Copies of this chain bind each other. A is one copy, B any other.
Amino acid sequence: MDVDLRQLRCLVAIVDEGTFTDAALALGVSQAAVSRTLASLERALGVRLLRRTSRSVTPTAAGVRVVTHARRVLAEADELVREATAGQHVLRIGYAWSALGRHTPAFQRRWAAAHPGTELHLVRVNSATAGLAEGSCDLAVLRRPLEDRRFDSAIVGLERRLCAMAADDPLARRRSLRLADLSGHTLLIDRRTGTTTPELWPPDSRPATEETYDVDDWLTAISTGRRMGMSAEATASQYRRPGVVYRPVRDAEPVAVRLAWWRDDPHPAAQHVIELLTALYREA
């Protein structure tokens, strides 16, 4: 004997309409059905909810409380339905550290022009799949290959690697650096989501590394001059901060920017996004 939304809808309709008969009309069922449904709700709860006279119906004290609560439950349920069906027209693209860098505004503009019916959400999720595995996005922008066979990905562009350092660091005076320039320093990296690993350096000249899990941490440590950072171009344009400068590392291989999706059921818009992004990265 379990409570059910049908019963709650019935109760609310009776209280709103004032009589079982009118509630039946509003619900599009017979008066007998309303009577039975409410009786079953009262039986399930073990409480009399309505005081019936042949003239009108008024809720008991318990009824008032239940009706109030029932309205909340029904509103929540309706919103669930609305959200689920409306969510059809939202495309969520996840990213871990940085999204599309300087291409972000152009991408959003072009998407809106091409798909006026589908809202675009860029969501930041700090996980290896940028929320793809967690279900918080439909597509993900990643900057390293995905070994997980459940996902597939396509390279949409290449980005230079930049070194992030304090503005008053001696290296900041140079226009660009080489990998070797960082050998003696300590690099702050994010193993889960980041693009930088010690393997970029030849085995004998690897810089020391330290682990971080958060962009803000990373920036703070760099701006105080305690640590160096290395990242893709997009990070530089998305996380500008006073006291932190970015310099290209000439001899570091570029970062491949990937769009990823679930191998089975790829999002219908995936192909469009790939094309759009590839075009953008090719342009500039």
Contacts and interface: CB of A to CB of B under 8 A. Distances in A.
A16 interface: no
A93 to B, nearest CB: 11
Contact of A48 (B58, B150, B265): B265
Interface stretch (A134-142, A181-189, A241-249): A134-142
Interface size grouping (class) on chain A? 35 or more
A5 B3 CA distance: 8
Contacts of A262: 51
A81 B51 CA distance: 19
Contacts of A87: 47, 61-62, 65
Q: How many copies does the complex hold?
A: 2
Given A3-B77, A5-B2, A5-B3, A83 B69 contact: yes
Contacts of A70: 80
Nearest to A91: B61
A137 B62 CA distance: 9
B58 A135 contact: yes
Contacts of A69: 76, 79-80, 83-84
A28 to B, nearest CB: 12
A92 B64 CA distance: 13
27 contacts: A2-B6, A3-B81, A4-B4, A8-B80, A45-B84, A46-B85, A46-B88, A47-B88, A48-B265, A51-B264, A53-B150, A53-B264, A58-B133, A59-B135, A60-B135, A61-B92, A61-B138, A62-B84, A65-B84, A66-B80, A69-B76, A69-B79, A69-B84, A70-B80, A72-B76, A73-B77, A73-B80
3 A-B pairs with least C-beta separation: A64-B135, A69-B80, A45-B84
